[in-house]
Structure 1
Amino acid sequence: MVEFFKKNRNKLFDILEDGDLAVMFAGEAPTKRGDEKYLFSPDRNFYYMTGIERERCAFIMSKIDGKRFETLYIEADNGQMAKWVGANISRSEALEVSGIKDIRLVDSIFDDIDSQKSGMKRLFLDGERKDLLENHMPEGFRKKYKELVFEDLFPIISELRVIKEKEEIELMRKAIHITRLGIEAMMKNAKAGMMEYEIEAHYDYVLTQNGVRDKAFHTIAASGKNGTVLHYIKNNAKTNDGDLILIDAGAQVDYYNGDLSRTFPVNGKFSDRQKLVYNIVLGGQKLIMDSIKPNVPMPQLNEILKEYYYKELLKIGLVSTRDEVFKYYFHNVGHFLGAETHDVGERNQQLRKGMVITVEPGLYIEEWGIGIRIEDDVLVTEHGCENLSAEMIKTVDEIEAFMAKGI
Structure 2
Amino acid sequence: MLKKILFACFLLNMWVIVLAQTPTDYLSADFHKERRAILRLKMPKNSMAVIFANPIRNRANDVDYVYHQDPNFYYLTGFREPNAVLIIFSDNQKDAEGNSYNEIIYVPKRDSMFEMWNGKRLGVEGVKRELGFAMAKTSEEFATDAINFKSFDNVHILKFSDDYSNSLRDNGEIYDLVTAFKDQSGYHDMKIKNPNIQYIHKAIANLPDAKLGEVAKNLSQSLEIYPEYKEDTFIKAYISADNDGLRKELKQKIKLDLNKRETNIDFKFLQTALAEMREVKTIEELKLLTKAVRISAIGQIEVMKAMKPEMSETEIQGIHEFVYKKYGAEYEGYPSIVGAGNNGCVLHYIENNKTKVGKDLVLMDLGAEYRGYTADVTRTIPANGKFSPEQKAIYELVLKAQDAGIAACREGNPFWKPNVVSKEIINKGLLDLGIIKSLEEKHMYFPHGTSHHIGLDVHDPGTYGVFKENMVITVEPGIYIPEGSPCDKKWWGIAVRIEDDILITKNKPVNLSAEAPRTVENIEKMMAKKSVLDEFVLPELD
Normalising to structure 2: TM-score of the pair? 0.71
Separation of aligned partners in 2, 1:234 and 1:203: 16
Local SS of the residue matching 1:208 = helix
What is aligned with 1:379?
A: 503
What is aligned with 1:121?
A: 153
Separation of aligned partners in 2, 1:181 and 1:383: 26
Question: Who wins on radius of gyration, i.e. which is larger?
Answer: 2
One-letter identity of the residue aligned with 1:24: I
The 1:88/1:321 distance shift into structure 2, 3 A limit, reads same
2:477 to 355, 361, 364: 361
Q: Does 1:268 align with 2:385?
A: yes
Report the alpha carbon displacement of residue 49 of structure 1 after superposing the two structures with TM: 0.5
Paired residues of 2:296 and 2:368 also in contact (CA < 8 A)? yes
Normalising to structure 1: TM-score of the pair? 0.93
What is aligned with 1:151?
A: 266
Moved more, 77-86 or 106-115: 106-115
Paired residues of 2:149 and 2:155 also in contact (CA < 8 A)? no
What is aligned with 1:41?
A: 68
What is aligned with 2:183?
A: 140
One-letter identity of the residue aligned with 1:9: R
What is aligned with 1:99?
A: 132
Local SS of the residue matching 1:401 = helix
Q: Does 1:4 align with 2:59?
A: no
Deviations 1:183-229 (A, max 9, x none): 22211111112211112221122122122231001111111111111
One-letter identity of the residue aligned with 2:264: V
Paired residues of 2:85 and 2:105 also in contact (CA < 8 A)? yes
Report the alpha carbon displacement of residue 134 of structure 1 after superposing the two structures with TM: 6.5
Deviations 1:140-195 (A, max 9, x none): 34438976511122222122111111111111111111111222221111111221
Deviations 1:257-280 (A, max 9, x none): 011000111111111111111111
Report the alpha carbon displacement of residue 321 of structure 1 after superposing the two structures with TM: 2.3
One-letter identity of the residue aligned with 1:378: I
One-letter identity of the residue aligned with 2:157: L
Report the alpha carbon displacement of residue 357 of structure 1 after superposing the two structures with TM: 0.6
Q: Does 1:232 align with 2:264?
A: no
The 1:19/1:35 distance shift into structure 2, 3 A limit, reads same
Local SS of the residue matching 1:179 = helix
2:520 to 391, 396, 406: 396
Separation of aligned partners in 2, 1:288 and 1:110: 51
One-letter identity of the residue aligned with 1:143: G
Separation of aligned partners in 1, 2:440 and 2:527: 37
Separation of aligned partners in 2, 1:336 and 1:196: 27
One-letter identity of the residue aligned with 2:118: V
Local SS of the residue matching 1:170 = helix
Paired residues of 1:260 and 1:377 also in contact (CA < 8 A)? yes
Provide the identity percentage: 32
What is aligned with 1:76?
A: 109
The 1:80/1:244 distance shift into structure 2, 3 A limit, reads same
One-letter identity of the residue aligned with 2:69: P
Local SS of the residue matching 1:55 = coil
One-letter identity of the residue aligned with 1:140: D
Q: Does 1:202 align with 2:319?
A: yes
Paired residues of 2:149 and 2:184 also in contact (CA < 8 A)? no
Across the aligned residues of Structure 1 and Structure 2, the Cα RMSD in angstroms comes to 2.2
The 1:130/1:49 distance shift into structure 2, 3 A limit, reads farther
Report the alpha carbon displacement of residue 388 of structure 1 after superposing the two structures with TM: 1.2
Separation of aligned partners in 1, 2:183 and 2:85: 20
Separation of aligned partners in 2, 1:305 and 1:243: 25
Separation of aligned partners in 2, 1:116 and 1:223: 54
Paired residues of 1:51 and 1:97 also in contact (CA < 8 A)? no
One-letter identity of the residue aligned with 1:180: A
Q: Does 1:288 align with 2:405?
A: yes
What is aligned with 1:279?
A: 396
Paired residues of 2:298 and 2:515 also in contact (CA < 8 A)? no
What is aligned with 2:224?
A: none
- Name the one with the larger strand percent: 1
Unaligned runs of 5+ in 2: 1-27, 94-99, 165-173, 190-261, 484-490, 532-542
The 1:392/1:113 distance shift into structure 2, 3 A limit, reads farther
Paired residues of 2:419 and 2:449 also in contact (CA < 8 A)? yes
Paired residues of 2:146 and 2:184 also in contact (CA < 8 A)? no
Paired residues of 1:357 and 1:377 also in contact (CA < 8 A)? yes
Report the alpha carbon displacement of residue 251 of structure 1 after superposing the two structures with TM: 0.2
Separation of aligned partners in 2, 1:371 and 1:144: 48
Separation of aligned partners in 1, 2:530 and 2:320: 15
Paired residues of 2:450 and 2:477 also in contact (CA < 8 A)? yes
One-letter identity of the residue aligned with 1:226: N
Separation of aligned partners in 2, 1:97 and 1:251: 26
Report the alpha carbon displacement of residue 117 of structure 1 after superposing the two structures with TM: 5.6
Report the alpha carbon displacement of residue 64 of structure 1 after superposing the two structures with TM: 3.4
Separation of aligned partners in 2, 1:372 and 1:316: 15
Separation of aligned partners in 1, 2:162 and 2:63: 23
One-letter identity of the residue aligned with 2:481: I
Separation of aligned partners in 2, 1:396 and 1:194: 21
Moved more, 37-46 or 314-323: 314-323
Paired residues of 1:363 and 1:373 also in contact (CA < 8 A)? yes
Deviations 1:66-104 (A, max 9, x none): 876111111112222222112321333212432111111
Paired residues of 1:357 and 1:378 also in contact (CA < 8 A)? yes
Local SS of the residue matching 1:140 = helix
Unaligned runs of 5+ in 1: none
Local SS of the residue matching 1:11 = helix
How many residue pairs were aligned?
Answer: 405
The 1:313/1:117 distance shift into structure 2, 3 A limit, reads closer
What is aligned with 2:79?
A: 52
Paired residues of 2:406 and 2:418 also in contact (CA < 8 A)? no
Report the alpha carbon displacement of residue 58 of structure 1 after superposing the two structures with TM: 1.2
One-letter identity of the residue aligned with 2:482: E
